[in-house]
Structure 1
Amino acid sequence: MIDIAFGDAIEPGVQETDLPVLLDFPAPKLRSYPRETVIAEKFQAMVALGLANSRLKDFYDVWVLIRSYKFDDDALARAIKATFTCRKTEIPTALPDAFTAAFTEDAGKKDQWAAFTKQVAVDPAR
């Protein structure tokens, strides 16, 4: 999947990514967000949307990323700070609503999660 975005904070900076190819041609290169920024943006949405969050795929995406790649804690912290600053969201000092029992035990969220997980490979290959 490719998302196109403008005006976001990109920390630790834009990187170049080779797209996979099916034929014997050189891989196209795209400028892309670093994984730290992807996690930061998804986390910011979780915080900003709180209990109203219906973007459950973001939780899965973050889980897949942290299971599939190693992250530098400082780089991830910088990405989170830059994203929250750019989006004018305060970094929470308490547990965000999206990580509370009020969210995780909500019947509607459970139904959404069950429907979502039927569509995806639940455990990513390492």
Structure 2
Amino acid sequence: MAATRAPVSRPPLSIPALVIATLACAAALLSGCSDAGSPAKKDRTKDGTTQAVVPLAADDLQNAYLKVIKNVLPSVVQIQASDELGSGVVYDGQGHIVTNAHVVGSEKTFRVTTANSQNVLTARLVYT
């Protein structure tokens, strides 16, 4: 006979905690895209000479990260499905949200909190 575990109840994350976690993940993912540690690349010009390509300065890279975060953050939502809590991203103008399957589990309806924390909406599963 297999032992079963009782579901683990987690307190819901607050929107500020969700925003901080999202920003930290975005920064970690984007930091792997940096080319700052590699030697300068060279491009050949039409006359056959080479010209060094200067990598982005740290401030330029940080500003690029901030621009991405500023554009994406309003699309991040919190999803609560019975015992599970996670995040999703609004995918289109119709309000479709993309999230991981483990967040929704076998549920068919969910509570969705928008990025501004002012709207709690009821959502339904469209496709898995």
After TM superposition, the score normalised by the length of structure 2 is 0.24
TM-score normalized by structure 1? 0.24
Task: Please tell me whether Structure 1 or Structure 2 has the larger radius of gyration of its CA atoms.
Answer: 2
Between 1 and 2, higher relative CO (CA 8 Å, sep ≥ 6) is seen in: 1
Give 1 or 2: higher strand fraction.
2
